[in-house]
Structure 1
């Protein structure tokens, strides 16, 4: 999409509603070669009647404009009926082109809706499915490990398998759809950062009260940045699902130090 098309999208599809949030994170085990690394997170696309191919394609162009080194997507690609929306997802996500790739994990909605269709789409598009797996980015001899657990609520998370694959040294970032998994991840002492979604930041946030409704495994750490033991956790507000109140959809851009 050219600049004129992006301006059209902003006016007619509400792209200004999507907050691009920039954060700087200091990770103690990050190698000097990765200082200044740009990691972008999106979550909870929830492809459905509102999150159309056209809207998501415009969002992906907005993601590309941030010039991330790597993109992480932390689950819930669909809301329902994967077979109806997987082609639209394939079209939009194929636009992502970060130099170090795009890593993904599934969420609870994905497991309810034919997850193998999504996994095949990941393979077709070239997304790295961190299904209880580890992917390592290298800068010379320096390593940055990206790990992912499959969905916790679906009973598919196998952190033991992840730890068995994860080298004992260097910075490690964990993708886990449900943020409250941070208590388990932090207890291992192996992860510097966990990226999550799931809660949509509460979606409806009432003044002086906060979000009245939160999903299980998204109630303790529902929005933003936390420190859990020695690990940083960030819970992204997600992109999809309406209505929202005082809780804008979010694209998170992290500069690692």
Structure 2
């Protein structure tokens, strides 16, 4: 921890120096500059202190989330400023070197003065992420979106043509701080009036008691005609803190599994169940967490035991890398997989139907929305809650409504 804190401190000081250069170029008042320096120093000291106080036996808390919010709010804009001014410095050095080695003997300083308009451009660009991050913290994290998607399957049983699914994922209840917003989101879920509700994991950040204030709210999710089912996510295993004993860790895990029952969801642990509609049926398969870079507790072969390639199957698997590495080419033909986990990194740009980008795409091949491989699909929910950074910019919290349709894919 000590070495990382030193490296982070040096980096932040470097960024601070460049940000101050930009401000000094456009602001001449000594009082303003002094106030800026004092404020920046206090913020930096607070951040360094907060990071050194992180307790791995406790994990993420409201305070650590606020610290992360402050870090991003202050230093992402300053990093933009640093990039702009560092680029200008490279230009100034190159220009100075060219002049020095040229034939002209006109006496000029090796480094030209900073240009005010460049600093103003940098400050203008820095205002964009500052405003976006501030919006994400104050409004974006609870700006729930209902996203509706039709998916076509030639082998869908006739009785399930038009069958509707509500999917939620990544609740992360330990991060919530606004009961009214959560109850509003529950009302949105109920307003969809679908046939089944599927919850694809991460009910807490780490500790079972994080959910205690929210059990009554989530108990208000109406149970549709065909039930409510859930699987575990990576955070449900308590892997990210140091426990006093293995018994304590197991006790917390047992309590987390019971939370799903307390909000009336049937938890599927490497097993499957059937939904019967008339003479037709489909299988709901629930696997424990399986992530390429995370816990691999999921066992799709056990969960799908006795199912055939011809059975129509919906797999609930928290981490979409499971689909990418195991499910999309599996001989049992898993027609639809529902995942979450990525949160779309809670930061990105989306123009529905035209463009979407997030840092998540450099980690996960499937990170938000619908993906297909040879007629098999995975839908990645962007998450209901938030984690680490207490906000959302561009990638909003999602309630998904999927409608299964029989027939070839409609272009």
**TM-score normalised to the size of structure 2?**
0.55
Counterpart of 1:219 in structure 2 is 364
5+ long unaligned stretches in structure 2: 1-137, 240-251, 406-411
Counterpart of 1:99 in structure 2 is 225
After TM superposition, list the pairs within 5 Å mapping 1:223-242 onto structure 2.
223-241=368-386, 242=390
Counterpart of 1:127 in structure 2 is 265
Counterpart secondary structure, 2:371: strand
Give the 3 Å change call, closer, same or farther, for CA 247–110 of structure 1 in structure 2: same
Give the 3 Å change call, closer, same or farther, for CA 206–254 of structure 1 in structure 2: closer
Contact kept, 8 Å, 1:52 with 1:88, in 2: the verdict is no
The 4+ residue runs of structure 1 with deviation greater than 2 A are 12-16, 49-58, 85-90, 121-126, 165-170, 206-215
After TM superposition, list the pairs within 5 Å mapping 1:1-257 onto structure 2.
17-50=143-176, 52-83=178-209, 85-96=210-221, 97-112=223-238, 114-152=252-290, 153-183=294-324, 184-189=326-331, 190-205=333-348, 210-212=357-359, 219-241=364-386, 242-257=390-405
**TM-score normalised to the size of structure 1?**
0.85
More strand by share: 1
5+ long unaligned stretches in structure 1: 1-11
* CA shift for structure 1 position 128: 1.1
CA deviation vs aligned residue, 1:34-91 (integer Å, no higher than 9, x gap)? 11111011111110243555433331221011101101111111113222x2323432
More helix by share: 2
Counterpart of 1:4 in structure 2 is none
Give the number of the structure whose alpha-carbon radius of gyration is greater: 2
CA RMSD of aligned residues (A): 2.5
Relative contact order, CA 8 A, sep 6+: which one is greater? 1
Aligned length: 243
- Matched residues in 1 for 2:258 and 2:225: separation? 22
